[in-house]
Amino acid sequence: MQCPRCRHEDTKVLETRLGKGGQSIRRRRECLACEHRFSTVEEILRDGLVVVKRDGTREEFDIAKIAAGIRKATDKRPVEVERINLLISEVVEGLQARFEDEIPSSAIGEEIMTRLQSVDQIAYVRFASVYREFRDIDELAKAIDQLRKGGKVK
Protein backbone atom coordinates (compact mmCIF):
# COMPACT_ATOMS: atom_id res chain seq x y z
CA MET A 1 0.00 0.00 0.00
CA GLN A 2 1.50 3.28 -1.14
CA CYS A 3 1.52 6.35 1.07
CA PRO A 4 -0.57 9.08 -0.61
CA ARG A 5 1.75 11.77 0.69
CA CYS A 6 5.30 10.55 0.10
CA ARG A 7 4.71 7.48 -2.13
CA HIS A 8 6.60 5.23 0.26
CA GLU A 9 5.54 1.59 -0.19
CA ASP A 10 5.52 0.36 3.39
CA THR A 11 2.69 1.11 5.76
CA LYS A 12 1.53 -0.48 8.95
CA VAL A 13 -2.10 -1.22 9.76
CA LEU A 14 -3.26 0.52 12.94
CA GLU A 15 -6.85 -0.63 12.90
CA THR A 16 -9.10 -2.90 10.89
CA ARG A 17 -12.84 -2.76 10.95
CA LEU A 18 -15.72 -4.14 9.00
CA GLY A 19 -17.56 -1.52 7.00
CA LYS A 20 -21.28 -0.85 7.03
CA GLY A 21 -23.27 -3.86 5.91
CA GLY A 22 -20.19 -6.02 6.19
CA GLN A 23 -19.24 -5.58 2.54
CA SER A 24 -16.00 -3.75 2.97
CA ILE A 25 -12.96 -3.66 5.19
CA ARG A 26 -11.76 -0.32 6.43
CA ARG A 27 -8.14 -0.01 7.49
CA ARG A 28 -6.39 2.82 9.25
CA ARG A 29 -2.79 2.90 8.11
CA GLU A 30 0.36 4.74 8.93
CA CYS A 31 3.25 5.36 6.56
CA LEU A 32 6.51 3.94 7.89
CA ALA A 33 8.52 6.74 6.27
CA CYS A 34 6.62 9.97 6.99
CA GLU A 35 4.09 8.72 9.58
CA HIS A 36 1.21 10.11 7.56
CA ARG A 37 -2.05 8.42 8.55
CA PHE A 38 -4.73 7.50 6.06
CA SER A 39 -7.63 5.10 5.60
CA THR A 40 -8.33 2.55 2.92
CA VAL A 41 -11.59 0.82 2.13
CA GLU A 42 -11.43 -2.53 0.41
CA GLU A 43 -14.45 -4.20 -1.07
CA ILE A 44 -14.68 -7.76 0.12
CA LEU A 45 -17.67 -8.97 -1.83
CA ARG A 46 -17.00 -10.40 -5.22
CA ASP A 47 -19.76 -10.83 -7.73
CA GLY A 48 -21.14 -14.29 -8.05
CA LEU A 49 -19.33 -15.81 -5.09
CA VAL A 50 -21.44 -18.76 -4.02
CA VAL A 51 -21.54 -21.26 -1.20
CA VAL A 52 -22.01 -24.93 -2.07
CA LYS A 53 -23.92 -26.64 0.69
CA ARG A 54 -23.53 -30.25 1.77
CA ASP A 55 -26.58 -31.32 -0.25
CA GLY A 56 -25.15 -29.68 -3.36
CA THR A 57 -27.47 -26.68 -3.41
CA ARG A 58 -25.96 -23.25 -3.85
CA GLU A 59 -26.62 -19.95 -2.19
CA GLU A 60 -25.11 -16.51 -2.32
CA PHE A 61 -22.08 -15.98 -0.11
CA ASP A 62 -23.42 -14.00 2.83
CA ILE A 63 -21.04 -12.30 5.24
CA ALA A 64 -23.94 -11.50 7.57
CA LYS A 65 -24.37 -15.23 8.25
CA ILE A 66 -20.70 -15.65 9.11
CA ALA A 67 -20.87 -12.59 11.35
CA ALA A 68 -24.00 -13.91 13.08
CA GLY A 69 -22.36 -17.28 13.78
CA ILE A 70 -19.27 -15.66 15.26
CA ARG A 71 -21.27 -13.13 17.31
CA LYS A 72 -23.45 -15.89 18.72
CA ALA A 73 -20.42 -17.97 19.73
CA THR A 74 -18.73 -15.00 21.41
CA ASP A 75 -21.89 -13.70 23.10
CA LYS A 76 -21.12 -12.59 26.69
CA ARG A 77 -17.51 -13.68 26.31
CA PRO A 78 -14.72 -11.22 27.16
CA VAL A 79 -13.87 -10.60 23.52
CA GLU A 80 -13.72 -7.01 22.34
CA VAL A 81 -16.05 -5.92 19.55
CA GLU A 82 -13.03 -4.83 17.53
CA ARG A 83 -11.50 -8.28 17.86
CA ILE A 84 -14.75 -9.87 16.72
CA ASN A 85 -14.98 -7.58 13.70
CA LEU A 86 -11.38 -8.33 12.85
CA LEU A 87 -12.09 -12.03 13.14
CA ILE A 88 -15.02 -11.73 10.74
CA SER A 89 -12.91 -9.94 8.16
CA GLU A 90 -10.07 -12.44 8.62
CA VAL A 91 -12.45 -15.33 7.96
CA VAL A 92 -13.84 -13.66 4.82
CA GLU A 93 -10.38 -12.77 3.53
CA GLY A 94 -9.06 -16.23 4.32
CA LEU A 95 -11.89 -17.81 2.34
CA GLN A 96 -11.48 -15.45 -0.58
CA ALA A 97 -7.79 -16.19 -0.73
CA ARG A 98 -8.49 -19.91 -0.95
CA PHE A 99 -11.49 -20.04 -3.27
CA GLU A 100 -12.26 -18.49 -6.64
CA ASP A 101 -16.04 -18.63 -7.16
CA GLU A 102 -17.40 -21.52 -5.12
CA ILE A 103 -16.87 -22.06 -1.42
CA PRO A 104 -17.87 -25.38 0.18
CA SER A 105 -19.97 -24.65 3.27
CA SER A 106 -17.72 -26.99 5.27
CA ALA A 107 -14.72 -24.74 4.52
CA ILE A 108 -16.53 -21.77 6.08
CA GLY A 109 -17.08 -23.65 9.35
CA GLU A 110 -13.48 -24.86 9.41
CA GLU A 111 -12.13 -21.38 8.70
CA ILE A 112 -14.18 -19.90 11.56
CA MET A 113 -13.18 -22.69 13.98
CA THR A 114 -9.47 -22.44 13.20
CA ARG A 115 -9.45 -18.71 13.90
CA LEU A 116 -11.87 -18.77 16.82
CA GLN A 117 -9.68 -21.28 18.62
CA SER A 118 -6.92 -18.72 19.14
CA VAL A 119 -9.33 -15.95 20.19
CA ASP A 120 -11.52 -17.57 22.83
CA GLN A 121 -11.73 -21.25 23.68
CA ILE A 122 -15.23 -21.16 25.16
CA ALA A 123 -16.49 -19.42 22.02
CA TYR A 124 -14.67 -22.04 20.00
CA VAL A 125 -16.34 -24.92 21.85
CA ARG A 126 -19.73 -23.24 21.48
CA PHE A 127 -19.28 -22.80 17.76
CA ALA A 128 -17.85 -26.28 17.31
CA SER A 129 -20.68 -27.90 19.25
CA VAL A 130 -23.20 -26.38 16.87
CA TYR A 131 -21.15 -26.81 13.74
CA ARG A 132 -19.89 -30.31 14.33
CA GLU A 133 -23.18 -31.45 15.85
CA PHE A 134 -21.56 -33.37 18.66
CA ARG A 135 -23.65 -36.46 19.16
CA ASP A 136 -23.13 -36.72 22.88
CA ILE A 137 -21.25 -35.33 25.86
CA ASP A 138 -18.33 -37.73 25.25
CA GLU A 139 -17.54 -36.19 21.90
CA LEU A 140 -17.70 -32.73 23.42
CA ALA A 141 -15.45 -33.83 26.29
CA LYS A 142 -12.97 -35.23 23.80
CA ALA A 143 -12.81 -31.95 21.92
CA ILE A 144 -12.27 -30.03 25.16
CA ASP A 145 -9.58 -32.49 26.18
CA GLN A 146 -7.74 -31.87 22.92
CA LEU A 147 -7.99 -28.13 23.51
CA ARG A 148 -6.44 -28.56 26.98
CA LYS A 149 -3.52 -30.45 25.50
CA GLY A 150 -3.03 -27.48 23.21
CA GLY A 151 -3.56 -29.52 20.11
CA LYS A 152 -5.79 -28.82 17.18
CA VAL A 153 -9.21 -30.43 17.56
CA LYS A 154 -9.75 -33.04 14.90
Q: Rounded distance, CA 49 to CA 70, Å?
A: 20
- The yes or no reply on residue 3 touching Zn ion (CB under 5 A) is yes
- The yes or no reply on residue 81 touching Zn ion (CB under 5 A) is no
- The yes or no reply on residue 13 touching Zn ion (CB under 5 A) is no
- The yes or no reply on residue 147 touching Zn ion (CB under 5 A) is no
Q: Which of 17, 26, 27, 36 binds Zn ion (CB under 5 A)?
A: 36
Q: Which of 2, 6, 68, 81 binds Zn ion (CB under 5 A)?
A: 6
Q: Which is nearer to Zn ion, 12 or 72 (CB)?
A: 12
Strand partners, 13: 29
- The yes or no reply on residue 32 touching Zn ion (CB under 5 A) is no
Stretch that binds Zn ion, among 23-31, 41-49, 52-60, 62-70 (CB under 5 A): 23-31
Q: Which of 84, 87, 89, 93 is nearest to 26 (CA)?
A: 89
Provide the angle, in degrees to the nearest 10, between the axes of the packed helices 63-73 and 81-98: 140
Q: Which is nearer to Zn ion, 6 or 64 (CB)?
A: 6
Contact 8, 2 (CB under 8 A): yes
Stretch that binds Zn ion, among 7-15, 21-29, 61-69, 141-149 (CB under 5 A): 7-15
Q: Rounded distance, CA 2 to CA 10, Å?
A: 7
Q: Which of 13, 34, 64, 68 binds Zn ion (CB under 5 A)?
A: 34
Buried b or exposed e, range 76-109, using 16+ CB within 10 angstroms: eeebeeeebbbbbbbbbebbeeebeeebeeebbb
Q: Rounded distance, CA 53 to CA 125, Å?
A: 23
Q: Which of 18, 22, 25, 31 binds Zn ion (CB under 5 A)?
A: 31
Binding site for Zn ion (CB under 5 A): 3, 5-6, 8, 31, 33-34, 36
